[in-house]
Amino acid sequence: MSPLDPALFPLHVICVFVFGSLFGSFFNVVIWRLPRRFSIVLPPSHCPSCGSPIRWYDNIPILSLVALDRRCRHCGLPISLRYAAIELLTALVFVAVFWRFGWTGATPLYLVFASLLIIGSFTDIDHWIIPDSVTFGGLAVALVASLASPWLGPEYLPGNSWPHWGGGWWQGVANAALGAAVGWTVLTLIALLGRLMAGREAMGGGDIVLLAMFGAFLGWQGALAALLIACFLGAFFGGTLHLSAKMRERLRGGPLPPPPENLPEGIDASSPEGFQRAVEHLDLHRKERRLSSHLPFGPYLCAAAMVTLLLWPQVEAMLLFFFGGPWLYR
């Protein structure tokens, strides 16, 4: 029996789930350290409260948190349930991408895309920033991958995007570049219009590059579709969160002060002791903004991009129904 036999598909899904949960465990490290400008390699994983190293048997995705009753083995302080939630989310997203694209060349590319969406979403939720390594890095990955568009399969969206440039690898490269340009231009114009009308920044630079990245991964139609869906999501969920934040600020007596961004000289965050001193200095545990108290647009964009990627036929039909026009990839 071939390893790719369809009869083994359930086993493949289980393997992808485990694979995704392992990456989700690593994404927890990246999400926590990257915005704080800490190394994602040193020091190794340890308890953020007491600094004790986390042994391999206490670092098994999802299961270890349940076995430890969500508490550190050494200090007994509680561990946030969000770590397991991100591991489970990543595993489910990986399964969804594999289910959508199967054993095609597009699957590894869109697993990278989904990973960037998860990291970008949670860093934006916590800190109101999307790191350049996510946005510009993802944009570079998508443009380089477009060179291999003939081998990515028929599900590679920019490769089938309109207009057609004569077939071959040029078509994927041209459409990925066109998608990035359209995404960048649209949000830049929105940002300029918002600045003229409101007299302040209406769109962050990270969101602009994020939509350009969407265009490189999904084509220009996918980028615009993601923007439209994000606007609907933001209007629906954002209104509720915004009202909740205003009520919390009124009860609290004002918004939380912004945390310091830079470490003083003499603190080396690559060692466990220096890492703890850095955390104490930045004091981000108590002062970082939470989802319930602010409204970043990045997570809505990322969620919309995931919907666009996984449900493009349905999204395409919706766009044709409401807007008509040249949305078709074929």
Q: pLDDT by residue (tens digit) across 240-269?
A: 766 776 676 666 665 555 555 555 555 555
C-alpha distances in angstroms, 321 versus 246, 311, 312, 315, 327?
37, 15, 14, 10, 11
Q: Is the pTM of this model over 0.85?
A: no
The dihedrals phi and psi of 71, each to the nearest 5 degrees, come to -135, 150
Residue 236 CB-density burial (10 A; 0-12 exposed, 13-18 middle, 19+ buried): exposed
- Residue 236, both tokens: 């629906």
Nearest-10 crossing angle of helices 82-101, 298-310: 30
**What does the pLDDT average to over 306-330?**
78
Residues 93 and 129: beta-carbon distance below 8 Å: no
Residue with tokens 């954002």: 238
Domain locations along the chain: 6-322
Q: Tell me if residue 46 falls in helix, strand or coil.
A: strand
Most confident of 19-28, 122-131, 276-285: 19-28
Q: Tell me if residue 123 falls in helix, strand or coil.
A: helix
What's residue 5's pLDDT? 66
**What does the pLDDT average to over 92-107?**
92
Of the candidates 87, 91, 88, the one whose C-alpha atom is nearest the C-alpha of residue 13 is 91
Q: Is pLDDT at 35 greater than 60 in this prediction? A: yes
